[in-house]
């Protein structure tokens, strides 16, 4: 994937992201993925931190401002960036690589991500970190109430997803199998589909950076330490693009 700057007619771009917490510069893997992608494409853009996702167009981050147009959701942003760069996002991928990349991205974004959310929000011992990390902008006297209401909403979401209905032991089994699949998918050297990282590398590494560098560690972080090739790969992607989660 070329990192040469794109043509001057590129729209004025502002990426609105979540701020930092838990030792992370950007606590959202979806925000980090898009920042990595835009940087790798050589796109000029501004970063704007929004500490309250409820104020975002779809109640979640990131979203992209492009000459007055609002694109909300990291996948929709990716498709928009592919359009304005004349297909450069997927240019180096054949159909098989693209299909495998989508499958890996779905594992990370729609399964493993929610288990990591559970390790932060549903663990009674870890939840005080969520209170301070996500709700520090609320007055201290009402902070536990606001955080408690948000926790009930997250618990409901995880229950509707289905993962929240499993025991901790069962959730750990899901995480083990997901991490093993990623460990087996990533190479010892290079990246998923060649010598240059692409959007699917940014999906995996953007997420795993948040897992490995999450402070204090959650139980998912502790489990991830057992996958050294995945950790080395995560560092390699961050180093190549020059964008780090921590």
Same domain, 140 and 225: yes
Same domain, 62 and 119: no
* Residue 102: CATH number of its domain: 1.20.1050.10
Q: What would the pLDDT profile of 127-140 be if each residue is shown by its tens digit?
A: 999 998 988 778 88
Phi, psi of 92 (to 5 degrees): -95, 10
Strand pairing partners for 18?
A: none
CB 60 within 8 Å of CB 28: no
Identify the domain boundary among 84, 105, 136. 84
Same domain, 113 and 202: yes
Same domain, 167 and 208: yes
- Take residue 221 and report the two structure tokens written for it: 């972080």
Share of the chain above pLDDT 90, in %: 84
Q: Tell me how far apart the alpha carbons of residues 112 and 29 are, in angstroms, rounded to a whole number.
A: 12
- Exposed/middle/buried for residue 144 (C-beta within 10 Å: 0-12, 13-18, 19+): middle
Give one DSSP letter per residue of 127-140, joined into a string: HHHHHHHHSTTS-T
> Mean pLDDT across the stretch 186-207?
97
Q: Which of 232, 245, 203 is nearest to 37 (CA)?
A: 203
- Beta-strand pair 69-72/63-66: antiparallel
CB 35 within 8 Å of CB 26: yes
- Take residue 75 and report the two structure tokens written for it: 């996948």
- Take residue 48 and report the two structure tokens written for it: 């704007």
Tell me the pLDDT band of 185, cut-offs 50, 70 and 90. very high
What is the strand order of the sheet 63-66 is part of? 46-49, 13-17, 63-66, 69-72
- Exposed/middle/buried for residue 194 (C-beta within 10 Å: 0-12, 13-18, 19+): middle
Q: What is the pTM of this model?
A: 0.92
Query: Which residues 6+ apart lie within 8 Å of 71 measured at CB?
Result: 63, 64, 77, 80
Q: Is 6 within a domain?
A: no
Same domain, 187 and 131: yes
* Residue 59: CATH number of its domain: 3.40.30.10
Query: Structurally, how many domains does the chain consist of?
Result: 2
- Domain region containing 203: 95-241
User: Does residue 172 carry a pLDDT above 70?
Assistant: yes
pLDDT for position 3? 47
Query: Which residues 6+ apart lie within 8 Å of 207 measured at CB?
Result: 29, 33, 108, 109, 112, 113, 116
């Amino acid at each position: 994937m070329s990192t040469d700057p794109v043509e001057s007619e590129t729209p004025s771009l502002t990426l609105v992201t979540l701020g930092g917490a838990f030792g992370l510069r950007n606590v959202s893997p979806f925000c980090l993925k898009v920042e990595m992608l835009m940087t790798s494409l050589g796109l000029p853009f501004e970063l704007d931190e929004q500490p309250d996702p409820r104020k975002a167009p779809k109640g979640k981050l990131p979203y992209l401002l492009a000459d007055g147009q609002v694109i909300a959701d990291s996948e929709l942003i990716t498709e928009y960036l592919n359009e304005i760069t004349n297909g450069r996002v997927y240019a180096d991928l054949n159909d098989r690589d693209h299909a495998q990349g989508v499958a890996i991205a779905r594992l990370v974004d729609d399964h493993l991500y929610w288990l990591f959310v559970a390790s932060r929000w549903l663990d009674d011992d870890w939840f005080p970190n969520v209170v301070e990390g996500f709700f520090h902008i609320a007055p201290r006297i009402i902070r536990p109430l606001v955080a408690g209401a948000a926790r009930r909403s997250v618990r409901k979401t995880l229950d509707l997803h289905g993962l929240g209905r499993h025991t901790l032991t069962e959730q750990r089994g899901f995480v083990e199998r997901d991490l093993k699949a990623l460990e087996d998918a990533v190479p010892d050297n290079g990246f998923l589909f060649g010598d240059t990282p692409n959007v699917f590398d940014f999906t995996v590494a953007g997420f795993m950076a948040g897992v490995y560098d999450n402070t204090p560690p959650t139980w998912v972080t502790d489990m991830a330490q057992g996958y050294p090739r995945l950790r080395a790969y995560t560092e390699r992607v961050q180093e190549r693009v020059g964008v780090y989660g921590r």
